[in-house]
Amino acid sequence: MTADSPARAGTAGLRIGAQEVALPIVESSEGDNAIDIAKLRAETGLITFDPGYGNTGACTSAITFLDGEEGILRYRGYPIEQLAEQSTFLEVAYLLIWGELPSHDELDRFVAEVTHHTLIREEMRHFFDSFPADAHPMAVLASGTVGMSTFYPDAHEIFEADAVETTINRLIAKLPTLAAWSYKKAVGQPYVYPRNDLGYAANLLHMMFAVPSETYEVNPQVAEALDLLLILHADHEQNASTSTVRMVGSTHANLYASISAGISALWGPLHGGANEAVITTLERIVADGGNVKKWVDKAKDPNDTFRLAGFGHRVYKNFDPRATIIKRAAERVLAATGADDELFDVAQRLEEVALRDEYFVSRKLYPNVDFYSGLIYQAIGFPKNMFTNSFAIGRLPGWIAQWKEMIEASETKIGRPRQVYVGPGTRDYTPIEQR
């Protein structure tokens, strides 16, 4: 069985009045099976209704498995804990995109390709110059990503394997440069060019924090922690930004356009933007005297729109395995950098209070990946508005792998949900002078 030809496991019966319909069941290799409703409307005149798609499988996929009840996450079958402990971000990127762990030679070639595409076109300097100094780096990153397609006409060859591979390597190589330059623009420092003798995470740190007037030494523990964060963010099956990438890609828009749309979707505080919101909340709690219980109560108040950022997840209803790994990494990074750990202390107290609180327990709201990641970013010197930018760099291989799987699958159609119309019936137009 492949992702493209899922096995069938019998049928499910649906009775609508006197009509009996047999709907095929699509069998997974692990996890939820699905009822195939593709012919439901043709046979019954009915569609399904599932706002937020909580019960809708939009595709088959062989990339990432997650079990929210058990707190399991695997990329291509490999547990996230093993990859976090033993792999590197570029190896994980290769695994996600090309399906298997690379051999020595394959990894060397991939790393060499990515390393030698890190420069962005010099004309793009003007592009950064044209934004206001306080532009949010996510806006700059999303526009820079789709902007890159203007330089590479082969980006439109989405069914040509060589062109696709080059586009993939360019994207992985250049996104850190775009991200770092969006930061340099914001702080008014000269853009720093990539250094090909550095590893992927170390190079990002170099482009962000080096200045031409001084020598900058990358702290290897910090580079290692950043690499770990990128691994933990690398894929998460059909979340909002990945579904956006697939949706845009299903129109056969080029990969830069699809990834740019994914970056925009990631930006929201209910998704990748939560890491920024967590630190803002922790800072507000500290400024407010550190009364954690008061803020937990605020999050529970149905008349208050405030939510505890970094808590809750559509799929994880036990614990987020990434949060467990990140919390340990945060401890290491704070020790290595000597960063102020007042916020870490508040975060831990907040977690303790929330995890004992009936509201959070009954709704199965646990810390998610973003709860502790912001603390690491902050300890290594990232300003808050750069956190989600870094998340996007981590998620990039997942978006690419999901786009590639989608574009290669014979089951793929243009994404186009239906609706249940609840607006007015037909009525006659009234000229404006009679209204």
The residue number whose beta carbon is nearest to ligand ACO equals 312
CB closer to ligand ACO out of 52 and 423: 52
CB atoms within 10 A of CB 298: 15
Q: Which is nearer to ligand ACO, 26 or 315 (CB)?
A: 315
Among 270, 286, 335, 361, binds ligand ACO (CB under 6 A): 270
Q: Which of 313, 320, 340, 345 is catalytic?
A: 313
Query: Of residues 100, 123, 363, 417, which one binds ligand ACO by CB under 6 A?
Result: 363
Map tokens 């990641």 to a residue: 373
Closer by beta carbon to ligand ACO, 41 or else 363: 363
Residue with smaller CB distance to ligand ACO, 274 or 350: 274
User: Which amino acid makes up residue 52?
Assistant: G
Q: Minimum distance from CB of 309 to ligand ACO (Å)?
A: 5
Residue 313 is among the residues annotated as catalytic for this protein: yes
For 12-35, letters b (16+ CB in 10 Å) and e give eebeeeeeebebbbbebeeeebbe
Q: Which residues of 222-239 are buried (b: 16+ CB within 10 A; e: fewer)?
A: bbbbbbbbbbbbbbbbbb
Dist. CA 17–CA 164, nearest whole Å: 50
DSSP 14: E
Answer yes or no whether residue 274 interacts with ligand ACO by CB under 6 A: yes
Size of site (CB under 6 A) for ligand ACO: 19
Nearer to ligand ACO, 185 or 236 (CB): 236
Q: Is 365 in the site for ligand ACO (CB under 6 A)?
A: yes
Cβ-contact 97, 400 below 8 angstroms? yes
CB of 395 to ligand ACO, least distance (A): 9
Binding mask 163-202 for ligand ACO (x = CB under 6 A): ----------------------------------------
> Structure tokens of 273?
């933007």
Q: Quick check: 320 and 312 in contact, CB under 8 A?
A: no
Site string for ligand ACO, 275-304 (x = CB under 6 A): ------------------------x-----
Enumerate the β-bridge partners of residue 16.
Answer: 19
156 catalytic? Reply is no
CB nearer to ligand ACO: pick between 128 and 366 = 366
Nearest to 406 by CA among 74, 73, 97: 97
Mask for 308-347, x = binds ligand ACO (CB under 6 A): xxxxxxx---------------------------------
Stretch that binds ligand ACO, among 15-23, 57-65, 329-337, 363-371 (CB under 6 A): 363-371
396 lies in the site for ligand ACO, by CB under 6 A? no
Torsion of CA 418, 420, 424, 427, to 10 degrees: 40
Closest by Cα among 261, 219, 210 to 240 = 261
| Closest approach of ligand ACO to the CB of residue 426, in Å | 35
Distance CA(383)–CA(390), nearest Å, equals 11
User: What angle separates helix 321-337 from helix 220-233, to the nearest 10 degrees?
Assistant: 170
| Between 307 and 332, CB nearer to ligand ACO | 307
Q: Is 349 in the site for ligand ACO (CB under 6 A)?
A: no
CB of 272 to ligand ACO, least distance (A): 5
How far apart, in whole angstroms, are the C-alpha atoms of residue 387 and residue 269? 12
* Cα–Cα distance for residue pair 140/385, rounded to 1 Å: 12
Alpha-carbon dihedral angle through residues 380, 381, 384, 385, given to the nearest 10 degrees: -110
Shortest Å, Cβ 56 to ligand ACO? 14
For 62, counting Cβ atoms within 10 Å of its Cβ (0-12 exposed, 13-18 middle, 19+ buried), the class is middle
Should residue 237 be labelled a site residue for ligand ACO when binding is judged by CB under 6 A? no
Give the footprint of ligand ACO on this chain (CB under 6 A).
Answer: 52, 270-272, 274, 299, 307-314, 363, 365, 368-370
- Positions marked active-site: 313, 370
